[in-house]
Amino acid sequence: MPYPHDIVCTSCRTHLRIETQGVLVIEMASFGPYKVWNADLYKCPGCGTEMVTGFGHFPIRDDHYAPDFGEWLDTAKTLAPKVIYDYEKPNRITITARQSKN
């Protein structure tokens, strides 16, 4: 029986499972990165549909105008298990694998 917060895939008729905790979500605006969030990535075990939810109450950073924001974001992207971009409008290919340090 699903929990109240479960996400159900209507195609596979089962709930999505957590795939990766603590993904980095970069909320994009017309000028570039706007806010940065931590969230969880869920995946349907049947069809592979993925969905991001479980956002914190507040973003990690929302001061895109700060002098250190760009450098901080570059570092955060290399440390995160996955990076997901959130655009205002649909935009395909949003997940990148963790970058190798080699």
User: What does the binding site for Zn ion look like in residue numbers (CB under 5 A)?
Assistant: 9, 11-12, 44, 46-47, 49
CB of 28 to Zn ion, least distance (A): 27
From the CB of 3, what's the least distance to Zn ion, in Å?
A: 18
84 touches 26 (CB < 8 A): yes
Distance CA 50, CA 28 (A): 19
Nearer to Zn ion, 15 or 64 (CB): 15
Q: Which is nearer to Zn ion, 9 or 39 (CB)?
A: 9
The amino acid occupying position 93 is I
Question: Tokens for 17?
Answer: 């499972």
Q: Least CB distance from residue 7 to Zn ion, whole Å?
A: 10
80 three-class SS: coil
- Pick between residue 8 and residue 66 the one whose CB is nearest to Zn ion: 8
The residue type at 83: V
